[in-house]
């Protein structure tokens, strides 16, 4: 054939800096549109869809089993680190550590328990969801679902979404407790603060509880939607699955950090100290 070398076959020159920026912005915009599509369909099917009994429960077990050991270890260490570090600093400014436990508890309830646990879950659960769904995309199982008239969001994302809404809250409360008691032990052994002094809920008020609860729900909703979207947009073979998993970890961690910024900011304005 004479028309072998068509002009479009040649590799295009790499885009310049400005064009690169423009392409980046376009990519970001397209990602945003896709993500909100997945989010909308997730909410729609959560309300309208029918599910076989036990599907959500199995995902709850999956999320919980997979993560409880991991979150307990990491959050336990975080509790110890935070109390040790802040104890050292506080001793430079004030002679006694009476209020350390109360302040720590307030910080846990308002922010640390939810945000740090969610970061761990973004890594654990988010990567797991993207790896599973991504593998199904490259083996064409997602196409097969669509051929049978099943929305993959309904079948794959929604059960994980509902399970995550419940289990994220449960795991956050559990991990917060582990972290607090690890901190309590550290305070006792390193600084001689009696557990009864440390266990002081005086500073925790309704605003703190409401902020913490909002974060539980927001993170629980965001992680499966973001990582489900990453999994569904997998492209290519085993390398594609690896990519999707990577993107899920980064994007859902980023979602947690950005949500934290907005919720914390709003709570600071709504419940001024």
Partner 1 sequence: MASPTDRSSPPREESLAEELGREVLSVAAQAGGMTVLALRLLRRLFPPRVDGPELLRNLHKMGVRSLPIVGVTALFTGAIMVIQAGVLIRRYGADGLLGWGAGFAILREVGPILIALMFSGRVGANTTAELGTMTVTEQIDALSTLAIDPLSYLVLPRVLAMVAMLFILTIYGDALALVGAAFTGQGLLGIGARTFFNGLVEMVKAWDLINGLIKSVGFGVIIAVASTYYGLSVTGGAPGVGRAVNAGVVASATGIFITDYFSTYILR
Partner 2 sequence: MLELRGVSKAFAGPVLRDVTLQVPKGCLYGLVGPGASGKSVLLKLLVGLLKPDAGRILVAGEDVTDLDEIQLHRVRQRFGFLFQNYALFDFLTVGENIAFPLRQLGLTDEDELVRRVAERLQAVALSGFEARAPGGLSGGQKKRVGVARATVTRAEVVLYDEPAAGLDPVTSQKIFDLLAREQREAGATVLMVSSDVARLLTVTDRVGMLYKGRLIFDGTTEEALGSRHPVVKQFLHGEPDGPI
Q: Can you give the binding site for partner 2, defined by CB under 8 A?
A: 1, 4, 6, 8-9, 138-141, 143-151
Question: What is the maximum span of the chain, computed from C-alpha positions, in angstroms?
Answer: 88
Say if residues 60 and 114 touch (Cβ distance below 8 Å): no
Q: Which is nearer to partner 1, 182 or 225 (CB)?
A: 182
Least CB distance from residue 139 to partner 2, whole Å? 5
Least CB distance from residue 128 to partner 2, whole Å? 15
Please choose, from the candidates 203, 204, 212, 184, the residue with its C-alpha nearest in 3D space to the C-alpha of residue 83: 184
With a CB cutoff of 8 Å and minimum separation 6, the contacts of 120 are 67, 70, 71, 74, 75, 175
Q: Token digits for 204?
A: 């925790």
Say if residues 104 and 180 touch (Cβ distance below 8 Å): yes
The DSSP call for residue 98 is T
From partner 2, partner 1, none, interface partner of 9 (C-beta below 5 to 8 A by class): partner 2
Q: Token digits for 182?
A: 């690890």
The DSSP call for residue 149 is T
Stretch 1-40: interaction string toward partner 1, x if CB under 8 A: ----------------------------------------
Stretch 116-155: interaction string toward partner 1, x if CB under 8 A: ---xx--xx--xx-xxx-xx--xx----------------
Beta-carbon count within 10 A of 72 CB: 18
44 binds partner 1 (CB under 8 A): no
From partner 1, partner 2, none, interface partner of 74 (C-beta below 5 to 8 A by class): partner 1
Least CB distance from residue 253 to partner 1, whole Å? 6
Beta-carbon count within 10 A of 133 CB: 27
Binding site for partner 1 (CB under 8 A): 69-70, 73-74, 77-78, 80-82, 84-85, 88-89, 103, 106-107, 110-111, 115, 119-120, 123-124, 127-128, 130-132, 134-135, 138-139, 237-246, 249-250, 253-254, 257-258, 260-261, 264-265, 268-269, 272-273
């Amino acid at each position: 054939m004479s028309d072998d070398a068509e002009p479009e076959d040649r590799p295009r020159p790499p885009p310049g800096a400005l064009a690169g920026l423009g392409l980046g912005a376009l990519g970001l915009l397209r990602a945003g549109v896709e993500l909100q599509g997945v989010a909308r369909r997730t909410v729609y099917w959560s309300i309208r869809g029918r599910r076989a009994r036990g599907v959500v429960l199995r995902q709850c077990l999956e999320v919980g089993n997979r993560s409880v050991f991991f979150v307990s270890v990491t959050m336990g260490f975080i509790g110890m680190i935070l109390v040790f570090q802040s104890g050292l600093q506080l001793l430079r400014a004030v002679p006694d550590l009476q209020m350390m436990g109360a302040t720590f508890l307030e910080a846990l309830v308002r922010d640390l328990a939810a945000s740090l646990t969610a970061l761990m879950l973004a890594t654990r659960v988010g990567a797991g969801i993207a790896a599973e769904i991504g593998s199904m995309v490259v083996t064409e199982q997602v196409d097969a679902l669509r051929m049978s008239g099943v929305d993959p969001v309904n079948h794959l994302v929604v059960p994980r979404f509902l399970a995550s809404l419940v289990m994220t809250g449960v795991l956050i409360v559990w991990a917060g407790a582990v972290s607090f008691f690890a901190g309590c032990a550290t305070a006792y052994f390193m600084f001689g603060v009696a557990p009864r002094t440390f266990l002081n809920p005086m500073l925790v008020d309704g605003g703190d509880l409401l902020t913490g609860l909002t974060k539980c729900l927001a993170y629980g909703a965001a992680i499966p939607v973001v990582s489900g979207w990453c999994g569904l947009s997998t492209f290519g073979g085993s390398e594609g699955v690896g990519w999707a998993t990577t993107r899920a970890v980064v994007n859902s961690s980023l979602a947690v950090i950005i949500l934290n910024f907005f919720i914390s900011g709003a709570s600071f304005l709504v419940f001024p100290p």
